[in-house]
Amino acid sequence: MEKVAKTISFVASSKAQAKSDQVVWVKVGADAEGQRLDNYLFRIAKGVPKSHICRIVRAGEVRINKKRAAVDTRLELNDEVRVPPIRVAQKTTQEKAAPIAPEDLPILYEDEHLLVVDKPCGLAAHGGSGISHGLIERARAARPNQPFLELAHRLDRETSGVMVLAKTRKALVRLHEMMREGLVHKSYKTLVLGDWVNDRQHVKVPLHKYVTKSGERRV
């Protein structure tokens, strides 16, 4: 028999924190409306690898309104999410993200909803795969009083370019809708070796996938 679950309701679900020793029911607030289930769990289950989160969702341990859900399920306002006990190995020291200096991350545009920055080459969009902290973690550290700050999209660590960060949940949801509807145009520039004969060139070769000595997957 499953132990009686502790029920917790939050007006703003960003304040929710998953417990490691008990089942928790969390009510989705306005700040999490429209967010993917896996990203939501990753945010409230601090320090838990995303691969583990995906595993427990696929195993049916996470429920939305008492029903099974997929990792890409979009949350709705007032949904009740069952979060099972999640245990991770405790680190002896908790390294905090260092705030990123303005000169290291030039701001191209900012208003009450958006923050657009010029990401340099070598800076990961977010932590993971052996990287403690990326752009989003360091940007949050530089703005401790910013209640909400999320990546609207991602760029590879070795790719420099424009990145859009959402300062409100409403802006993030709308940006994702625009991307799905094809209303956002992305263009990439690269250096090539040799003569570029035509104005437009089609590259029709398979992607080469490999793993570095450190275990990092690359394409």
- Is 199 in the active site? no
**Cβ-based burial of 39 (10 A; exposed 0-12, middle 13-18, buried ≥19):** middle
Name the one residue in this structure whose structure tokens are 């679900």.
13
CA torsion angle for 59, 63, 68, 70 (degrees, to 10)?
-70
Q: Can you point out the beta strands (E) in the chain?
A: 6-8, 24-27, 63-64, 67-68, 80-83, 107-110, 114-119, 150-151, 161-166, 210-211, 217-218
The active-site residue out of 31, 38, 104, 156 is: 156
Residue type, 213: K
Contact 141, 98 (CB under 8 A): yes
Radius of gyration of the chain (CA): 20
Residue at 203: amino acid letter: V
Active site residues: 156
